[in-house]
Amino acid sequence: MTMKGLKHSPETRAKIGAANIGKHSKPRTAEQRAKQSEAMKGKPGPNKGKKFSPESRAKMAAAQRGRKHSDETKRKIAAASTGRVKLGEERRKLSEARVGKPLSAETCAKLSAAKKGKPKSAEWRAKLGNAKRGERNPAWLGGVSFEPYCVKFNKEFKERVREFFGRQCVECGAPENGVRLCVHHVNFRKDSCCAEGVVPLFVPLCPSCHAKTNYNRDYWEIRFTALINEQHGGRCYLPKVDTLPEEVTA
């Protein structure tokens, strides 16, 4: 008599499950686990290649929910995954499974700590750079950074801006120390010195603060425009008639 292909009723499955409860509660010894592991090496898992219904997958997920692996099991899982290259399809499924699932503060802290102090390869840095280059960069404005500056925006003019604000970053107050402050176009127009109908507004910024202005540009334009108008009466650079220090003009 063969049982292959026979489907038990829910009642029968419940009876079989109840009859097996407690039969496998005795923990296996390390020797037994080692023998079973050795016997299964090179053999496909019992569920490999099987396609489960959404209902079955939901039941298996529910059965695993809340269960915590021991430290030993975690180490084994990590060791088994080390150096394993995930195929494109597998990476896609893993990525889709995480979509919309926020990470806990504890998980974020663990991920951050795990990455600290790890040197990044030149290849990895190149990939990150290429991923945010050109139109893929959130600060992309159609390539305006490649446009030339106005001819009036020269070294002498930038020195008059720096000198007007006392050679301090208008955002954080850092003084110019060895490296000259960046002169920032408040309206993000490279031709603002020469363009008609555009008020040329400039502020000196340290490199750190200058980098921040690449994001949320509307905020920075409003902020610096108000600073110039309210604190300096609309002025933001010294006129040419004013004498600059000799070391500046040299």
137 has a pLDDT exceeding 70? no
**pTM, two decimal places:** 0.43
CB contact at 8 A, 205 and 170: yes
Tokens read off for 215: 């994001």
- pLDDT for res 250: 40
Report d(CA 140, CA 142) in Å as an integer. Answer: 6
Partner residues linked to 183 by β-bridges: 204
236 by Cβ neighbours in 10 Å (0-12 / 13-18 / 19+) ranks as buried
Report d(CA 63, CA 21) in Å as an integer. Answer: 15
pLDDT band for position 110 (50/70/90)? confident
Among 188, 179, 183, smallest CA distance to 215 is for: 188
Report d(CA 114, CA 48) in Å as an integer. Answer: 32
What backbone phi and psi angles, to 5 degrees, belong to 31?
A: -65, -45
Q: What is the pLDDT of residues 33-92, one digit of tens each?
A: 888 878 877 777 777 777 788 888 888 888 888 778 888 888 887 777 776 666 677 777
